[in-house]
């Protein structure tokens, strides 16, 4: 079955500390992987994507993610978290255009001062 698992429902990180959000996927074809961020009541903003090539991808706002095929993982990282990073983060997997995305249940990030 195709699925995305985000094991952490809620994470709290101190401002300035590093962050890692976990994502594992199960997908029958070549996966296209995404991380989106959602602020309350808002739509989704794409942070970064992996289609092919270099397994370490850089995104916006200082985020990066590493695709590890052997572990079926695509964890999101940021070396130093800012208070404005507090939001809901969704990992998603899909195929080529014309296929819908499968989303994880999301991880809520809180940032403490």
Partner 1 sequence: GAVVSQHPSWVICKSGTSVKIECRSLDFQATTMFWYRQFPKQSLMLMATSNEGSKATYEQGVEKDKFLINHASLTLSTLTVTSAHPEDSSFYICSASSDSNQPQHFGDGTRLSIL
What is the closest distance, in whole angstroms, from the C-beta atom of residue 22 to partner 1 in the complex?
Answer: 15
Kindly state the number of chain residues that form the binding site for partner 1, as judged by CB under 8 A: 23
The pattern of x and - marking residues 42 through 81 that bind partner 1 according to CB under 8 A reads xxxxx--x-x------------------------------
Q: Are strands 107-112 and 56-58 parallel, antiparallel or unpaired?
A: unpaired
Structure tokens at 68: 């590890």
| E-only strand ranges, the chain | 3-5, 10-14, 19-21, 24-26, 32-38, 44-50, 56-58, 64-68, 73-78, 87-94, 102-103, 107-112
**Among the candidate windows 20-28, 36-44, 64-72, 75-83, which touches partner 1 by CB under 8 A?**
36-44
Q: Which of 1, 28, 41, 70 binds partner 1 (CB under 8 A)?
A: 41
Can you tell me which of 36, 63, 67, 89 binds partner 1, judged by CB under 8 A? 36
Which residue(s) pair with 96 in the sheet? none
């Amino acid at each position: 079955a195709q699925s995305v698992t985000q094991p952490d429902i809620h994470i709290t990180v101190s401002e300035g500390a590093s962050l890692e959000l976990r994502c594992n996927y199960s997908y029958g074809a070549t996966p296209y992987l995404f991380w989106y961020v959602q602020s309350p009541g808002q739509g989704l903003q794409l942070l970064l994507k992996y289609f092919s090539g270099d397994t370490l991808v850089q995104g916006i706002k200082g985020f990066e993610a590493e695709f590890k095929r052997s572990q079926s993982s695509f964890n999101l990282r940021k070396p130093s978290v800012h208070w404005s990073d507090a939001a809901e983060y969704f990992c998603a997997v899909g195929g080529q255009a014309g296929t819908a995305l499968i989303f994880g249940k999301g991880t809520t990030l809180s940032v403490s001062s």
